[in-house]
Structure 1
Amino acid sequence: YSSLAQNPVLAYQPVVTGLTSPVDAVVAPGDGRMFIGQQNGLIRIRNGASLTEFANLGSIITTTGGEQGLLSLAFHPGYATNRYFFVLYTAATTGAITLARYRRDATNPNTIEAGGTVLLSIPKPAPLADYRNHNGGKIIFGPDGYLYISTGDGGSGGDPGNRAQNRAELLGKMLRLDVNSFATSTPFYNIPSSNPYVGNALGYREEIYAYGLRNPWRWSFDRLTGDMWIGDVGQSAWEEVNWIPAGEASGGNFGWRCYEGAHIYVPGGCSVTDTISPVFEYGRNFANGGISITGGIVYRGAALPALQGFYVVADYVSGNIWKIRPNGSGGWQTFLQNGLQANVAGFVEGATGELYSINRGQGRIDSIITTSVVPVTISSFTATANTGFNEVKWSTAVEVNTSRFYVEYGTDGINFTRAGSVPASGNSNGSSYNYRHNIVQEGLLFYRLAVQDADGSVNYSD
């Protein structure tokens, strides 16, 4: 038999324009509005078609380096009642990776209370001029209610201080903090008792949840399963995606600088048996790879059923996008799509699971959509694998001036060959159709319909 799969074709549809270098965006729990963070420290609220300034942190951050500035924002799960939110940024003068807590005004939902509280400051290596990059960092509240923080290895090239492997340092790590006390004096946060190095006698920082990361600029939790997905930017050859089942990342070593992707970078210092290998990697080229990965999100919305369960990830420079999901046999299906716009700095999950992308270069937030334009309403489209052939079936609810259906197949979901055709019934209320595609060998096949109108024009299903 042959395996049958669907590879949805994605597109970006602008929903917010007029931004200046947006880098992160979050839909606040219990609020429903999207809060957009710009690299210059300005946080703006999307109110329908308009933008409202929420906070301006420009005076406390530095943007001297291209990877400096406001990095990320996260809203406490109880934001609707406690009004607390958190930001990650590089501090003015020192460049330190800084976590701070702020509070929304009690009476005006479009502004914040004066002053914030710095919870954690991670110094950068000296001299700062050589270490402005690799700050991470994305902050997210996990399913367990704790705040997770990704940090880069501190910068320069090749992690010269081997900081990502040094568990006495907070650089190159995934941190996990309990920030739920909202303390106004030190300690401003607590260490979850289940963190892997609590009470250790080796000098390891107890904030560490996992280590061995180079620059995990963007990462996410699967809202359905709690699995962790991390996009880690490579040094010079490989960009990588790491997947960790819910709860299994504790104490894990992602391998940098011993490994870049699945490949040895600096021999020694890591064991293959104690490192987490990437589930996907790509090389430094524009045809089927890129230069800088932007970690994505698993789609769990309802508007795009063809995308359900796919992890969507992009490259910032090449614009290539990948859709990744389990293949049902312990491995992964990975589908590449070329030709999309570059400069995607992050992805956003809406309140109901719909996906958005952040285009830093264009100053936009885009809705992620699938393309499907056909001259009929197709109510179902399925394919069943059999020995020696695949049975392709579809039904239409409406047909207007439709003359013929062409069944096309391919092995990559991008390039297709026509298998055959079926004439349209001519019934304006729709009909049911089937086509038997004889096959000679097993393999992964994709199917689509080319729908020909009476005037000869042809459009395609997903």
Structure 2
Amino acid sequence: MLSVVVGLGLVHAFTASGENHAGEIALQEVASGFSQPVYVTHAGDGSGRLFVVEKAGLIKIIHNGQTLSQPFLDIRDRVGNDGEAGMLSVAFPPDFAQNGYFFVYYNHTDKNLVPPDPRDGGNNNGYDTVVARFRVTGDSNRADPNSEERILLRNQPYANHNGGLILFGPDGRLYIGLGDGGSAHDPLNAGQDLNTWLGKILRIEVGATGTYTVPADNPFVGRSDAKPEIWDWGLRNPWRFSFDRLTGDLFIGDVGQGAREEISLHPVGQAGGLNFGWDCREGDIAHSTTAPCDGPFVEPIVAYPRSDGQSVTGGYVYRGADFPQLRGRYFFADFVQGRIWSIQRAGSGWSAKALELDTDEQIASFGEDERGELYVVAFGGTIYRLIDAAAPGPTLEESTFSASPTSAVPGDVVAYQLVLRNNGGPIDGTVQAEISVPNALTYLPQSLQATAGAVSDAAAPLLRWQGVLGAGQAVTVTYQTTLNSGASGVVTTVAQINAPNLSTLTRSAALVVRTSGGDVADPDFFLPGTQPAHMIDPIVDPTSCQSCHTTPIYGAWRGSMKSQAGRDPLFWAALHIANQDVENAGDFCLRCHTPRGWFSGRSHPADGSALESTDLVAGVACETCHRMVDPEPSGGDAAASARDAAIRSTISPTLPAGHVGSAMLILDPEDNRRGPFSISPAPPHPKATWRTELLGQGGDPVTEARVCGVCHNLDNPTLSWNPVTGRYEPNEEDAPAPSFNKGELFPIKRTFDEWLYSAYATPEGVYAPQFAGARPDGVVRTCQDCHMPRMTGIAATGGVQRDCSTNGCLPEHSFAGANTWTPQLLQDPRWRLNATGDALHLNTAIASARAMLRRAATLTIDFDPNATPKQARVRVINETGHKLPTGYPEGRRIWLNVRAYDAAGRLVFESGAYDPVTGILQQDSQLKVYEAKLGIDDGVTVTESFHFIRNNTVLKDNRIPPRGYTIAAYDQPGLRPVGAVYADNQHWDDTLYVLPNEAASVVVVLYYQTASKEYIDFLRTRGGEDGVLLGQMWDDLKSPPEVMAVAMAPMEKWFLPLIGR
């Protein structure tokens, strides 16, 4: 035996015979001094702790390489600890981090907790088996021994063969291993008796109150001749079993009688009820028995004779990251001989066992940590880590340190992020990092946090972190500071990183100090919700999402206007004008169009010059929605609900009750993601993804749609209602608006509220299969039902399939609207922020928008060519869940083009004529244009205006309301019609056209246009360089009207008029 010291851990390496494997297996000491340890595991709570079970009734914690002095649990007063009995395992459920409950298996000193089973033949010599639930105290490292709730009990006829492992499977059910009751040769024939739990693996569903139920898919449910809790049977003494965390396969180590030790396999997906043969079979040979042996029996994948070992210890498939050469190998051992073997898949079967190590330890168990690294429990008192001694060495060279924002003025809050990355092999021991906050900055107490390991600011301004950094692992350390007055130039903060056997690594983060007072946040544009200073983790670059989420998630989003919001040329021209009209108004615009930059503090100066290219490309980044906290309490995973409540409590002032909009959103300051499904941590997601009703499917429509309302209601925070003058007027300068309640600020657009007061925003919804995608009922209720249509298919790489039946729908992230022109502009290489690389996605988005427009309205015509006088009644029916059209009012419009022809096919009448060469919509006495027009009311005159930041009145709004419209509900600023009258429940508009007497046929086309010539001329004149270029692009391309619907009377297909044809 060769023993060497590597780094801080004692590594035992042994020469082994057998097959040659890549890698060199060794045992690295983690901690010692335990008394008869029998099990080690983790809690799955992200703490990095290891929990060591001592047979006498103690559970101890190893944290950051140190064994804590106080035990996690001490129940020695009730544990029977003779022979094979004792406390044998602990299991933490998937929701342990949320509720603090966990489970243990132990043998009680009382042999009569429950009466002996009649099938035990009067034998009552063993300590009773107890599976019990306990809970942690206020100290997460201490459990309450008096909190015991006994879940399952079994009298033991003999002192041996207790089994002893409990384990939560990948299905969330609790699996319990029980031996055959003891003695020798199974005198009770328990292994083949389905009316006893002995010799079985049980599977139960633990309840919320210390109870359990039997899953309906257990194999023997409903049978009178079998216990329903049984999952698998025919076992002698299952001493350690495990699930492959990648595949879900169940591996079982079963201790033999005197001839064979075995490893058995229950493949994932195979129904329960497998019979592994005991006591008809012992391993791969027959065993003398009086039990019925009809079978069929499942043969083991490993069976070894007593010459190799005398008591198998089941192990794990290695799925960790630190030792790639070991992945996929199942490691197991023999308690008596101390040997460790491995097997791996070979074709459709398994390789022969290969001896990896021949130790002098009694190996009581294996265990996994949260990262899938393997540990070995030596009964003599030491916990080892199983390692590959030939693995490459660690490297921290790709660690980074950065400030956000990268420039600031005195008084600004600056967040720092140190990312420690180990792109090599494992580090033997603890990594330490120290950050010295310079005098120009003041550390914000208690802001120091890390995704793993331990932090300390006790010596601030010296900040410290220490922890374990495995192979391929990254840990993010964050903290916040304020920039002190008098600071100037560049402020540099230095971080030093130290790891065993590595040279000290230095990283620095630079902060540029600005002096322009105009660059700081303007209180005139303050809106409630999460502020940049609140953010700990920045919004991640969405390009990181495309590695897993391709079409229809990332690809569809990439072509959408959500993705391209930061590169929209109309936006940049309008922003230039807004900054001219009102100082720092651009900050208000950037809040919605580049939230990644805004929340990182890069919206100052308000012209967007401090934004990074990634901010612009990100647009409305994925995490803008997927870290969003519902402003109103709603359902979801318990962890999300608790976290959301805590975050809401920190927001001051609170968001206005019953009103969302203007990017008054609440984000989780940390990178805790939310969505419609609960997803366990999976790279590159740093943490589990929580399910919330805000981002859900099929719940309350108002809750789900609120995520859209955050930006699709828009108020001007500088204009408040004055009841004395009866108009919206500017607020006091350098002060926030006095109220953010609905109606108190001038409404620029009200798309969300239009929906909110419609028939769509109800549990019944509206039957509209043209929008419903794969929804089987064809009913739409929420914004997402139309603009993120439900589909079936692959949601992410790795085969995450959504079927709209058993596991939810796949929401397509196309966000299809009506804009077909801007995606074309973005492909013009002349535009400074062009997206030519996204051409495929943009063209797909154009096609989606055109399809959406064709579904948005129904057009009918009532015309009698024989009637006198000649008239045509045209009806436009709004099929959407909001006004038609909706959204940003400037330049956006729908109109009717009506043409009448005589019997010879000659044009005799036209209303709504559009010149595709000049881009001018010609005025006529019967022209019908559906649009909203805003203006400026100074108390003396009212003027129509495109100055959106100064507009304070609505001059026209004849847009068609949605189904469910009522006059009372829409009698609000920004909702009520202006210049039009709609009756309750009227979601259509009729227009009567007077035609010449010679009219014999009529053709009507409903057109939509993103931007009118009048609006583009306004931007061209006042929008700076971006406006000039936009005007040039308009001259080349115009904003081509899109056909929404066509109607003819009588039906004559050759009368179809297309503009420009």
Same fold (TM over 0.5): yes
- Report the AA paired with residue 390 of structure 2: S
User: Structure 1 residue aligned with 2:99, among 77, 82, 95?
Assistant: 82
Residue in structure 1 matched with residue 191 of structure 2 by the alignment: 164
Would the aligned equivalents of 1:316 and 1:345 in 2 still touch at CA under 8 Å? Answer: yes
- Report the AA paired with residue 153 of structure 2: S
User: Structure 1 residue aligned with 2:32, among 17, 31, 41?
Assistant: 17
- Report the AA paired with residue 265 of structure 1: H
User: Structure 2 residue aligned with 1:110, among 141, 162, 169?
Assistant: 141
Q: Does 1:218 align with 2:240?
A: yes
Residue in structure 2 matched with residue 174 of structure 1 by the alignment: 201
User: Structure 1 residue aligned with 2:312, among 279, 283, 293?
Assistant: 293
Provide the C-alpha distance between the structure 2 equivalents of 1:32 and 1:373, rounded to a whole number of angstroms. Answer: 22
Q: Please state how far the C-alpha of 1:329 moved relative to its aligned partner.
A: 4.3
Larger relative strand fraction: 1
Residue in structure 1 matched with residue 81 of structure 2 by the alignment: 63
Where in structure 1 do 4 or more consecutive aligned residues deviate above 6 Å?
none
Q: Please state how far the C-alpha of 1:112 moved relative to its aligned partner.
A: 1.8
- Report the AA paired with residue 124 of structure 1: Q
Residue in structure 1 matched with residue 49 of structure 2 by the alignment: 33
Alignment of 1:360-371 (within 5 A): 360-361=379-380, 363-371=381-389
Q: Does 1:344 align with 2:371?
A: no
Residue in structure 2 matched with residue 437 of structure 1 by the alignment: none
Q: Does 1:47 align with 2:47?
A: no
Closer, same or farther in 2 for the Cα pair 1:373/1:248, shift >3 Å? closer
Closer, same or farther in 2 for the Cα pair 1:70/1:269, shift >3 Å? same
Provide the C-alpha distance between the structure 2 equivalents of 1:279 and 1:109, rounded to a whole number of angstroms. Answer: 40
Would the aligned equivalents of 1:23 and 1:360 in 2 still touch at CA under 8 Å? Answer: yes
Q: Please state how far the C-alpha of 1:315 moved relative to its aligned partner.
A: 0.5
Provide the C-alpha distance between the structure 1 equivalents of 2:298 and 2:48, rounded to a whole number of angstroms. Answer: 36
Residue in structure 1 matched with residue 269 of structure 2 by the alignment: 247
Provide the C-alpha distance between the structure 2 equivalents of 1:112 and 1:249, rounded to a whole number of angstroms. Answer: 36
Residue in structure 2 matched with residue 150 of structure 1 by the alignment: 177
Provide the C-alpha distance between the structure 2 equivalents of 1:165 and 1:85, rounded to a whole number of angstroms. Answer: 31
SS of the aligned residue for 1:178 comes to strand
Q: Please state how far the C-alpha of 1:273 moved relative to its aligned partner.
A: 5.5
Closer, same or farther in 2 for the Cα pair 1:7/1:240, shift >3 Å? farther
Q: Does 1:236 align with 2:255?
A: no
Would the aligned equivalents of 2:361 and 2:379 in 1 still touch at CA under 8 Å? Answer: no
Provide the C-alpha distance between the structure 1 equivalents of 2:224 and 2:132, rounded to a whole number of angstroms. Answer: 29
SS of the aligned residue for 2:366 comes to strand
Q: Please state how far the C-alpha of 1:339 moved relative to its aligned partner.
A: 2.5
Would the aligned equivalents of 1:152 and 1:173 in 2 still touch at CA under 8 Å? Answer: yes
Alignment of 1:192-211 (within 5 A): 192-202=215-225, 204-211=226-233
Q: Please state how far the C-alpha of 1:332 moved relative to its aligned partner.
A: 2.5
Provide the C-alpha distance between the structure 2 equivalents of 1:337 and 1:47, rounded to a whole number of angstroms. Answer: 28
So what's the TM-score if we normalise by structure 1?
Answer: 0.74
- Report the AA paired with residue 93 of structure 1: D
Q: Please state how far the C-alpha of 1:64 moved relative to its aligned partner.
A: 2.0
Residue in structure 1 matched with residue 132 of structure 2 by the alignment: 100
Closer, same or farther in 2 for the Cα pair 1:117/1:158, shift >3 Å? same
Q: Please state how far the C-alpha of 1:313 moved relative to its aligned partner.
A: 0.4
Provide the C-alpha distance between the structure 1 equivalents of 2:149 and 2:355, rounded to a whole number of angstroms. Answer: 43
Q: Point out the structure with max Rg over C-alpha.
A: 2
Residue in structure 1 matched with residue 282 of structure 2 by the alignment: 260
SS of the aligned residue for 1:80 comes to helix
Would the aligned equivalents of 2:310 and 2:337 in 1 still touch at CA under 8 Å? Answer: yes
Q: How big is each residue's C-alpha offset from its partner over 1:103-134, in whole Å with a ceiling of 9 and x where there is no partner?
A: 111x2112123330111111111xxxxx1110
Q: Please state how far the C-alpha of 1:9 moved relative to its aligned partner.
A: 3.0
Would the aligned equivalents of 1:24 and 1:71 in 2 still touch at CA under 8 Å? Answer: yes
Q: Please state how far the C-alpha of 1:235 moved relative to its aligned partner.
A: 0.3
- Report the AA paired with residue 107 of structure 2: T
Provide the C-alpha distance between the structure 1 equivalents of 2:55 and 2:85, rounded to a whole number of angstroms. Answer: 8
User: Structure 1 residue aligned with 2:155, among 99, 104, 123?
Assistant: 123
Provide the C-alpha distance between the structure 2 equivalents of 1:338 and 1:221, rounded to a whole number of angstroms. Answer: 23
SS of the aligned residue for 1:253 comes to coil
- Aligned residue pair count: 357
SS of the aligned residue for 2:77 comes to helix
SS of the aligned residue for 1:358 comes to strand
Provide the C-alpha distance between the structure 2 equivalents of 1:306 and 1:333, rounded to a whole number of angstroms. Answer: 18
SS of the aligned residue for 2:23 comes to coil
Provide the C-alpha distance between the structure 1 equivalents of 2:97 and 2:160, rounded to a whole number of angstroms. Answer: 35
Would the aligned equivalents of 1:255 and 1:270 in 2 still touch at CA under 8 Å? Answer: no
User: Structure 2 residue aligned with 1:358, among 368, 373, 377?
Assistant: 377
SS of the aligned residue for 1:322 comes to strand
Provide the C-alpha distance between the structure 1 equivalents of 2:50 and 2:37, rounded to a whole number of angstroms. Answer: 13
Q: Please state how far the C-alpha of 1:6 moved relative to its aligned partner.
A: 3.0
Residue in structure 2 matched with residue 309 of structure 1 by the alignment: 328
Q: Please state how far the C-alpha of 1:320 moved relative to its aligned partner.
A: 1.4
Residue in structure 2 matched with residue 445 of structure 1 by the alignment: none
SS of the aligned residue for 1:217 comes to strand
- Report the AA paired with residue 20 of structure 1: S
Closer, same or farther in 2 for the Cα pair 1:192/1:326, shift >3 Å? same
- Report the AA paired with residue 27 of structure 1: H
Would the aligned equivalents of 1:315 and 1:342 in 2 still touch at CA under 8 Å? Answer: no
Provide the C-alpha distance between the structure 1 equivalents of 2:392 and 2:167, rounded to a whole number of angstroms. Answer: 40
Would the aligned equivalents of 1:230 and 1:243 in 2 still touch at CA under 8 Å? Answer: yes
Provide the C-alpha distance between the structure 1 equivalents of 2:187 and 2:173, rounded to a whole number of angstroms. Answer: 31
Closer, same or farther in 2 for the Cα pair 1:315/1:36, shift >3 Å? same
- Report the AA paired with residue 303 of structure 1: D
Q: Please state how far the C-alpha of 1:78 moved relative to its aligned partner.
A: 0.6
Would the aligned equivalents of 1:326 and 1:333 in 2 still touch at CA under 8 Å? Answer: no
Provide the C-alpha distance between the structure 2 equivalents of 1:219 and 1:321, rounded to a whole number of angstroms. Answer: 16
Q: Please state how far the C-alpha of 1:280 moved relative to its aligned partner.
A: 0.8
Q: How big is each residue's C-alpha offset from its partner over 1:221-256, in whole Å with a ceiling of 9 and x where there is no partner?
A: 000000000010000110001012113250111100
Provide the C-alpha distance between the structure 2 equivalents of 1:75 and 1:374, rounded to a whole number of angstroms. Answer: 33
Would the aligned equivalents of 2:275 and 2:295 in 1 still touch at CA under 8 Å? Answer: no
Q: Please state how far the C-alpha of 1:168 moved relative to its aligned partner.
A: 0.6
Q: Please state how far the C-alpha of 1:373 moved relative to its aligned partner.
A: 8.7
Q: Please state how far the C-alpha of 1:304 moved relative to its aligned partner.
A: 1.0
Closer, same or farther in 2 for the Cα pair 1:373/1:37, shift >3 Å? closer
Provide the C-alpha distance between the structure 2 equivalents of 1:17 and 1:78, rounded to a whole number of angstroms. Answer: 30
Provide the C-alpha distance between the structure 1 equivalents of 2:22 and 2:256, rounded to a whole number of angstroms. Answer: 27
Q: How big is each residue's C-alpha offset from its partner over 1:147-186, in whole Å with a ceiling of 9 and x where there is no partner?
A: 000100011001101011111101100000100x2225xx
Provide the C-alpha distance between the structure 1 equivalents of 2:230 and 2:185, rounded to a whole number of angstroms. Answer: 21
Provide the C-alpha distance between the structure 1 equivalents of 2:344 and 2:217, rounded to a whole number of angstroms. Answer: 30
Would the aligned equivalents of 1:169 and 1:205 in 2 still touch at CA under 8 Å? Answer: yes
Q: How big is each residue's C-alpha offset from its partner over 1:251-300, in whole Å with a ceiling of 9 and x where there is no partner?
A: 11110000110111025645576111101111112xxx111000000000
Would the aligned equivalents of 2:240 and 2:314 in 1 still touch at CA under 8 Å? Answer: yes
Structure 1 residues not aligned, in runs of 5+: 126-130, 376-462
